[in-house]
Structure 1
Amino acid sequence: MNSTPQETIQVTLGERSYPVWIGRGLLDDHARWQAVLRGRHALVISNRTVAPLYLERVSRGLDGLRWSSFLLEDGEAHKSFANVGLALEALATLSATRDACVIALGGGVVGDLAGFTAACWMRGIDFIQMPTTLLSMVDSSVGGKTGVNLAAGKNLVGAFHQPRAVVADIGTLDSLPAREYRAGMAEVIKGAAIGDAGFFAWLEQHADALAAREETALVQAIATKLRYKAGVVARDETEQGERALLNLGHTFGHALETAGQYTALLHGEGVAVGMLLAGRLSERLGMSTQADTLRLERLLKAIGLPVGVPAGFDPEQLLALMRLDKKNTAGTSRLILWRGIGQAQIVSGINEAEVLAVLREACTNA
């Protein structure tokens, strides 16, 4: 008998509300997710690593539909306009109508690109998120952010387009490499660091169990993070205010990812280092204490995440990339900093010299 706990989180957005199902074996629970398919056509977007593992299981739930698949190469570098164009051509070949559905089977790259493809086809069709990485389960699959990268920066082109459902089958994490699993835990930690000091303390207490992928702790961690995110998305869907707090560490992290050409750091690793840099900047500005930053550093280390900038990065280049970050407004730099664990804050008008000093110190210590 399957003793793995299951959770359902509801993202409440009026007519666009949707469930997030968390548990083991959900890809095979066809009746559950078939219920949200409204038309006769489906395009499964996946990648060449994930598809051999899970596409056949999903395809058994598509009996009676006209469907096809579009497979990306694996990696952030393939979240591109060129691949969106190819995915749209796949929908055209399928003769997909306005009630068609795109199914995103994979991690964050697949989910972002599939969602953007769905947002573009006939000005918006349904899509279902089937995240297969911890990072995508706890972050990118929920909230409707979709998009692609440009050479100039990450996620500069995109749309808000909510899924019809999120099917988070934790059984897919069995095949997830340890490094990618740890990268996903960075987003769990981030949620606690932003707005839930009690959850942060729980993570500290259960760090060993989470590092070992103990399922009861894992499901609880995923569900707690997603309840928090679902509440934020419901209150601020298009990131006009509170939702921006979810970007703690992201402006630093995206700059690191871009400077490393999306190969030096995984997204979650960039977020981990970025959160620490945000913590150090908060310290420097007198907003928080060193004790807060050290607690964060210890938790990241306990999970096995990096806590330093890789060698060879240039602080001036990182600052230039941060200037381009889409979270900035009207020429004013804006960062998510904190006043201690669980107390993130949007801060505008930060002196760039302070940011550069933090980057220089981090790069010198690399």
Structure 2
Amino acid sequence: MSASMAGSSPHTPNPDTPPPRAWPWLAGLALATGLAALLRYWDLSGLPPGYWYDEAHKAVIAVYILRGLQAPIYITDFIGIEAGFAWLLAGWFALFGPTEFGGRALSALLGVLAVPLVYGAARGLYRDHPRANLIGLAAAFGLAGLFWHLLWSRRGDEISLVPLASAAVLMAVVWACRRRTIPAFLFAGALLGLSQYIAPAARVLPLEALLAFGEVERATQTLGYFLGLMERAPGAMEAMLLAAMPLLPEASQAEAAPVQPAGEVIVSFGPREARAEGDGWGTFELSFQIPGGVHLNGNRPAARWLIPTTASVEPLEASIAWPSEDQYVGTVKVPVRLRLPEGSGGEEFQIDVRFQACTESECQEPVERRFGGVLVR
């Protein structure tokens, strides 16, 4: 045994030993990618069944882009969505023509491409580990058969881009940290920035990047920017909620607090019968008794995604003087004036009230109440 070999560490490569062959790992990666393609493209038009309204919406936007009718940076339809997938789908339609399940074909391809990217990201992250290739291959096979990724890859909408972007951003950040050059960091930063144009769930990527580098204060500040969106669309922001858990270490240590249902909101309307004045208008009152610790959203709440307190009257004309506050607490009395039609001696009516009771941490299901009454001359 030579002196150089005797003094070497267990992981120091022997110069006389040929480097490990790459083809077994490449063959394994090809097998994982092929498995991913088989699972994602098999019976693509039948599973999931039907034509999902989200994929239909993205297809319509893509056709608009293709015909020059729209060029969105952000899609404002419904609750709003990033436009990245719609642009990719427009390019897909330009190549292969608009088809009913073109969005599924594209999202399935994105799901397949995520598999080799995950392999590369895991291998790069554990580059110094003696089994880096095996770790990457395990990650690739894991993603290829992962049910939620398989499901979303067949849905034909923007969520299929998030795992792809996550793996690509991770690869870029690892590569930039190893290169330690300004162009490398600029590239990784640009890729991270572009990832914010694909889906609401991609908002988690900068938060995860900040936490990975120990920037807790900046991560907390970033999280604050998305509190409204998290309240508005908690399902889309589930990944961010999970990523935010390290910012709340006390959440895992605190004892479970007893859950007590919020008190019931009591709603009343009266009088049952009222006499109209000379101008045909009669006065009623809608009353809310709201228990402590609970509030109702106002008729014009501060945020548009909050469910307002409303009332509608049929068949009479109504004038309802809602309080101007964003939230209603305690006892709230709302004057309701109703008007008889010309020539009518009296009318029966009904008033439908809708409201949502909330605490500081959660909201209950919206509640509807119906009351009846009579207005006479």
Q: Tell me if TM exceeds 0.5.
A: no
Which protein has greater RCO, CA pairs closer than 8 Å, 6+ apart? 1
TM-score category (smaller protein) = under 0.3
Structure with bigger helix share is 1
Normalized against structure 1, the TM-score is what? 0.26
Larger Rg, first or second structure (1 or 2)? 2
Normalized against structure 2, the TM-score is what? 0.25
